[in-house]
């Protein structure tokens, strides 16, 4: 192996577990964020459906 490559690999390889852990942590944080946002959107959609139903009932009563 080339001496320069051996020096580069000896410098980089010890830090590989930290790099892998950092990427895993970033992906985990991203997945948690997406899960939280999706849950919030579902709650908002449910609330909008309730409001639309109430508005439709109100409009039906006033139209009579």
Alpha carbon distances (Å) from 44 to 39, 40, 50: 9, 6, 10
DSSP secondary structure code for residue 64 in this structure:
-
Q: What pLDDT, on a 0 to 100 scale, did the predictor assign at position 10?
A: 84
Measure the CA–CA gap between 47 and 52, rounded to whole angstroms.
9
Q: What are the residue ranges spanned by the domains of the chain? A: 3-63
Q: What is the pLDDT along the chain (64 residues), one digit of tens a residue?
A: 789 888 888 888 888 889 999 999 999 999 999 999 999 999 999 999 999 999 999 999 988 7
């Amino acid at each position: 192996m080339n001496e320069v490559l051996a020096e580069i690999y000896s410098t980089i390889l010890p830090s590989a577990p930290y790099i892998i852990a950092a990427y895993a942590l970033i992906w985990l944080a991203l997945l948690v964020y997406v899960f939280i946002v999706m849950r919030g959107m579902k709650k908002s959609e449910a609330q909008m459906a309730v409001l639309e139903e109430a508005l439709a009932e109100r409009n039906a009563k006033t139209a009579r």
